[in-house]
A and B are shown apart, each in its own frame.
Chain A
Amino acid sequence: MLPAYYEFFNPVKILSGDKSLENIPFELERAGCRLPMVITDSGVAQAGLLDMVTGAFKSSGMHIGAVYDNVPPDSSDRAVTEIAAIFRDQGCDSLVAVGGGSVIDTAKGINILISEGSEDLMQFTGAERLESPLKPFFVIPTTSGTGSEATAAAVIFNETRQIKMTFTSCRLMPNAAVLDPRMTVSVPPRITAATGMDALSHAVEAYTCLQKNPLSDAYATAGIGLISENLLRAVTKGRDKRIRLAMANASTMAGIAFSNSMVGMVHSLGHATGGVAHVPHGEAMSIFLPAVLRYNMDRIEEELSELLYCVGGEAEVVQTSVEGRAERTVELIERLQEDLHEACGLPRTLGEAGVERDQLESIAKTAIDDASLTFNPEEMTSKDALGVLEQVYE
């Protein structure tokens, strides 16, 4: 059924596949850029991926204005201010982010400061607070999970106030996302698994939460299909570029989907668990996804039944009774979770992820203040959250 009203926005050009990195100088030039700044983290630089990106500029005639290769693992306002100053000093005119969610969100923060001509990120927190058009911004993801290359949001840690600042604005969307399989073939199995489950949670929540719409559904279902088919293979056969490219596409599709239909309780609990117990986001998503789908079951049974085709294929749909399809979808996600645990040790419970039992109450209290909860189909109080946390503890 169509929603009474919906909006969908995705201006991000997708460059996907073989030698797509080499097209970046052309795209920059088309956007009127002459001196891009490249931003990444030390892990990406050490893995040789930064050299691969700068190598793609050879014979293009374009100069690189500056390279910053030390973005911290959690994007922070201090790093954003520092890098924005370099951008200004070097007279750069565009940004190229090479990395995972942290690097991409840091680049979004830098773009806010530069384009708004400000030194204080805090004044732009919240939704739609950006007044000026941002600088041309290109993203090269090095993990397949966050979907940040296609979303209108950024989360940056405020070191002074010790809070996570959330920014949402259509202006934060990159000009283009470059999905080159060379950038993800060297991702270790456990990170591949965690980021893949992050992408799966984006797509599943996009399909089952309140802001879903026909266009986000199309991206979500396509993403879920690709993840179900390729995630385990990406963990066990990481050097296969076709599998990596499929996961990169799935992650971007999931990003487009959730940027237009938002996520729900899996993310509320995941953000809180990350904040309180420092569990990596993808691992938290993997732990919470099946439990939250069961929690929401009464409200989303129809949607979960529809997802059985994407998760299990035609044979599963034919073999499962109509009444059992929603439950079967959750069971297959749990089976994937188990397979990933066996393949690379991805934690299945909060206990395995190193969370202490006395942290659960604090996680529950934090989770109810997470904005993602707005779009969850079922209500969640801190008592409800604690119930789910206990359930997935061991």
Chain B
Amino acid sequence: MKVKILRYNSENDSSPYYQSFQVPFSDDDEYTVTDVLDYISVNIDPTLAYFKHSACDHGICGRCAVKMNEKNVLACTTVVDCSRDMVLEPVSEKHLVKDLVVRIP
């Protein structure tokens, strides 16, 4: 599946840009958005920033929200449709820290 992610690192980038990743997941299992992000982080681009510190991965801490195809979801419990492309963006432009990471006060 193709995953398009909005990237932005204020130290290097003048403005946000989309980057596409090819992730080899198929519908033989049920993967979450976090599974997709973990795959990219481990195997393709370790610089990708998404919420992943002291994370529960089971919808308990509620801190991993991202925008998936225009809809705000918890990354760790939201199952992805491997048969179609996916766009991931941060849930808030105003509170953006880096890539998909936001810090909402």
- A and B, one complex? no
